[in-house]
Amino acid sequence: MGSFSIWHWLIVLVVVLLLFGRGKIPELMGDVAKGIKSFKKGMSEEDAAANEPKTVDLKADNSMDSKQNSENKDRG
């Protein structure tokens, strides 16, 4: 009862062919293949971006310093 025989799989195949038709199944498989290719491309681009050395440009944030200075002047 746990496994299916060859006859069960043939019936399922016939039902799928009747529901989707002969032309629709290759179209669906082509869409799946395109999805897999774009997923792999995205993963390789992500890996390439992760391997690139990153440089960090530090910039002084004068707005905070001037704000603190003005607060200190108001208090003093």
Contact 38, 46 (CB under 8 A): no
* pLDDT tens digits, one per residue of 67-76: 566 666 666 5
* pLDDT tens digits, one per residue of 10-52: 999 899 888 888 788 888 889 999 999 999 998 888 777 777 7
* CA–CA–CA angle 31, 35, 38 (5° rounding): 135
**Closest CA relative to residue 13, chosen from 29, 1, 2, 25:** 25
How far apart CA 40 and CA 34 sit, in angstroms, is 10
Contact 39, 31 (CB under 8 A): no
Tokens 């498989």 sit at which residue? Answer: 29
Domain residue limits, the chain:
22-50
